[in-house]
Amino acid sequence: MNEPAILDAPPEPAPADGGGETPAIEVRNLSRWFPGVQAVRDVSFTVPRGQVVGFVGANGAGKTTTMRILATLDHPTTGEARICGHNVVTHPAEVRRRIGWMPDHYGTYSHMTVLEYLDFFARALGFKGDERIERIAEVMEFTDLTGLADRLVNALSKGMGQRLCLGRSLLHDPEVLVLDEPAAGLDPKARVELKHLIRILAQEGKTVFISSHILSELGEMCDSLLFINQGRIIHHGSAESLRRGSAATSLVEVRLAHSNERLPEWASLSPHVTFRETTKEGGRIEIDSVDPEILATVLRRMVSDGLPVVDFHLQERKLEDAFIEILGELEAAGTPIVS
Ligand code: ATP
């Protein structure tokens, strides 16, 4: 089958850098109104190539609407979005060549097997002959579906179905993946499998833009997190900086192999350190810095002074707490918040 008949406007001038440094995703002042609802409000953000960015927000925050616009399935009311430099409204075919889209629900294809399903989409993408067979085999191997090639799609578990949906979005080896709630409804094992696949894709240099309302899920695999609330971007930063927050000190939980009696005295004699409280197996200390070099120096001194340290654990804020805190700050600043 030929490529779907999507007509692009005349080509845009090539970027001066040949496209290499152009961000994978650029969104500028994007808004989308539905009758009576402004789903997306003046949203701007950039995702550099090769990054994994989590898109986080409550139900109805505007994630799917933004992602559907990036995937060329909807038009913004105002503003613009580009994928690898190509405008999603004027050059949708260029965008579709570069983007793999995984919707939060995939259609029902009850009388198709896994192989037939992938073959259908590979044909629609223009793959022919041996190339098509090879590409489907590669995708099935990557998503661990080879042994399920003849299984009917509606007989797949939720996790298998999500892997199939991811496989479908990978058929044309896109540079940018836009994944809408891929882990929703998966059991813990299926979540781990999916995270593993996303990690491999990131290592291969793909840009991944992934939404979820479960923050802990995204924190460990994303370079940065983009928070959206009531259609507005309210924060964009690394998971690490969010966990650290604006704190100027570090709270460290110390576990000792035996006898915690020396810890308070040691802390009172050590620069940068204040003893906070005793715990069953050691205690909590506060260090007057967030500089990793200072933390490492404190740990080294603790060991060289003969304390039997078995664990030195930085206590971080939970990402959920950071999100709530940001909402609280906005509310205090007078920005209306709807959770
Ligand atoms: P969820 O996590 O529940 O999927 P979301 O962050 O993806 O939420 P959106 O689906 O983008 O949120 O919806 C944002 C707002 O826009 C919601 O109020 C929703 O009801 C509304 N909305 C989305 N699509 C339409 C539509 N086609 N017509 C009218 N309103 C819509």
pLDDT digits over 122-141, tens only?
Answer: 999 999 999 999 999 999 99
In this structure, the answer to whether residues 78 and 219 fall within a common structural domain is yes
pLDDT digits over 319-336, tens only?
Answer: 887 888 788 887 777 665
Q: Which of 27, 63, 67 to mutate to test the pocket of ligand 1 (most atoms within 8 A of CB)?
A: 63
Query: Quick one: which of 69, 47, 67 has its CA closest to 57?
Result: 67
Residue of 325 and 68 predicted with greater confidence: 68
Strands (DSSP E) along the chain, which ranges?
Answer: 25-34, 37-47, 52-56, 78-83, 86-87, 99-102, 176-179, 207-212, 224-229, 232-237, 250-256, 273-279, 282-287, 309-314
* CA separation for the pair 231, 227 (Å, rounded): 10
* CA separation for the pair 225, 277 (Å, rounded): 33
| Residue 327 falls inside a structural domain | no
In this structure, the answer to whether residues 164 and 55 fall within a common structural domain is yes
For 290, the domain range is 246-314
Domains identified in the chain, total number:
2
Average pLDDT in the chain: 87
Supply the CATH number for residue 37's domain. Answer: 3.40.50.300
Residue-level pLDDT at 127: 93
Opening angle at CA 224, ends 222 and 229, nearest 5: 110
Describe the strand order of the beta sheet including 86-87 as a list of residue ranges.
37-47, 25-34, 78-83, 86-87
In this structure, the answer to whether residues 141 and 278 fall within a common structural domain is no
Residue 185 has pLDDT above 90, yes or no: no
Q: Is the CB of 338 under 6 A from ligand 1?
A: no
Closest residue (by CA) to atom 22 of ligand 1? 39
In this structure, the answer to whether residues 176 and 214 fall within a common structural domain is yes
Banded pLDDT at 15 (limits 50, 70, 90): low
Banded pLDDT at 18 (limits 50, 70, 90): low
Closest residue (by CA) to atom 21 of ligand 1? 39
Q: Is the CB of 61 under 6 A from ligand 1?
A: yes
* Average pLDDT of the segment spanning 165-185: 93
Residue-level pLDDT at 14: 60
**Residues in CB range of 169: below 8 A, 6 or more apart:** 100, 101, 102, 177, 179
In this structure, the answer to whether residues 303 and 190 fall within a common structural domain is no
Residue-level pLDDT at 212: 85
The dihedral of CA 96, 99, 104, 109: what is its sign? positive
Residue-level pLDDT at 259: 65
In this structure, the answer to whether residues 182 and 300 fall within a common structural domain is no
Residue 28 has pLDDT above 90, yes or no: yes
**Residues in CB range of 120: below 8 A, 6 or more apart:** 112
In this structure, the answer to whether residues 221 and 271 fall within a common structural domain is no
Q: Is the CB of 246 under 6 A from ligand 1?
A: no
In this structure, the answer to whether residues 253 and 210 fall within a common structural domain is no
For the ranges 62-71, 153-162, 242-251, which has the lowest average pLDDT?
242-251
Supply the CATH number for residue 252's domain. Answer: 3.30.70
* Average pLDDT of the segment spanning 5-21: 61
